[in-house]
Amino acid sequence: MSGLSSFISAASERARQTDLLFFSATALSGFIVLLVAGLIIGFSIRYRKNSNASRAELPPPLLREFETGWTLATVLLFVTIFGWASAQGFGAMTPAGEPLQINVVAKQWMWKSEHPGGEREINELHVPADRAILLSMNSQDVIHSFFVPALRIKQDVVPGHTEALSFIADKPGTYALLCAEYCGTQHSKMTGKVIVMEEEDYADWLSHQEADNSLAAQGERLFTTLGCSGCHGHSANVRAPPLENVYGSPVALADGRIVEADDAYLRDSILQPKRDVVAGFKPIMPSFAGRVSEANLLALLAYLKKKPQQEARDD
């Protein structure tokens, strides 16, 4: 597929809505430009030098109504476009249905993805059509930007943060995946493909993939190797907050606040454990800043978000 056809294709309803908004705003802007240009040319001719056209001022009431009219029209036009674009943007952030969550890791100069079952890809992303997809994205080194022109989606991926991007692709096919943020000498080669498949084809593709050594499995091994299980495990001698089902749940802190255990909270709890101390526990956990790499930190987060829930269900 050529780059031009990839940019023209619209592989989702969001893409078509974005195109409609863009071309409508472009057409409206063009109309206003032509209107203003026509008025400038018309007035230039009518009130040219030596013209007999009247140059008397408009009556104050008429002048006031004219100024009020074009000011209100401009404000109304702005509010309409702003509301349209805002509604489209907020609607795209929360697609209907239970999303299929896929972890995406950006690094110089590749895209690595992992499906819920542990199936992993490099520079390719297979997704089912007509199903909500939620990408949980992290960067191991510098700022990258996940850009799929055919889906009209673009999301910067910043080191130290977990970014979320959702979409629903409804047109099976292969579409270009680019990095839209300069990330080093091989930036132009950081490309890939998003492959949209019918649901049954996606299930068949999953069945032929190896799912060994998933990111969560790596995190589980690190959890033991780093000694985390010695405090947070079921048989730990040191009293520490339990981690089963912690992700997404409310956590009461020692200072009286209640926060949600999201990606940022878990990351801070590992790197800056004394920042948000859980109520009823002493701030004795050491900081792992500088002791774990970004890749290992992402593996730990994957384990904390996924594996503990499985253990809780097994008990």
Of 249-258, 269-278, 290-299, the one with minimum mean pLDDT is: 290-299
What does the pLDDT read at residue 288?
85
CATH 1.10.760.10 maps onto the chain at 215-314
258-283 pLDDT, tens digit per residue, is 988 888 888 888 888 888 888 888 88
Number of Cβ within 10 Å of residue 104's Cβ equals: 21
- Provide the residue type at 268 as one letter: D
What does the pLDDT read at residue 236?
60
Helix ranges, 126-238 (H): 199-207, 215-225, 229-232
User: DSSP 3-state assignment of 170?
Assistant: coil
The residue ranking higher by pLDDT, 102 or 62, is 102
Q: Mean of the pLDDT values across residues 228-235?
A: 75
Number of Cβ within 10 Å of residue 118's Cβ equals: 16
CATH superfamily of 1-41+94-212: Cupredoxins -  blue copper proteins (2.60.40.420)
Q: Mean of the pLDDT values across residues 167-178?
A: 92
| Percentage with pLDDT > 90 across the chain | 31
Number of Cβ within 10 Å of residue 266's Cβ equals: 19
Q: Report which of 203, 205, 195, 196 is spatially closest to residue 130, judged by C-alpha positions.
A: 196
Residue 165 backbone phi and psi in degrees, to 5: -140, 125
CATH 2.60.40.420 maps onto the chain at 1-41+94-212
In whole angstroms, give the CA distance from residue 107 to residue 180.
Answer: 13
Q: ∠ CA 107-111-114 to the nearest 5 degrees?
A: 115
What does the pLDDT read at residue 256?
86
**Omega before 109 cis (within 30°)?**
yes
* CB-CB contact of 220 with 309 (8 Å): no
Q: Mean of the pLDDT values across residues 167-177?
A: 92
Enter the pTM of the model.
Answer: 0.70
| Class of CATH domain 215-314 | mainly alpha
What six digits make up the tokens of 153?
A: 């989606």
- Provide the residue type at 192 as one letter: G
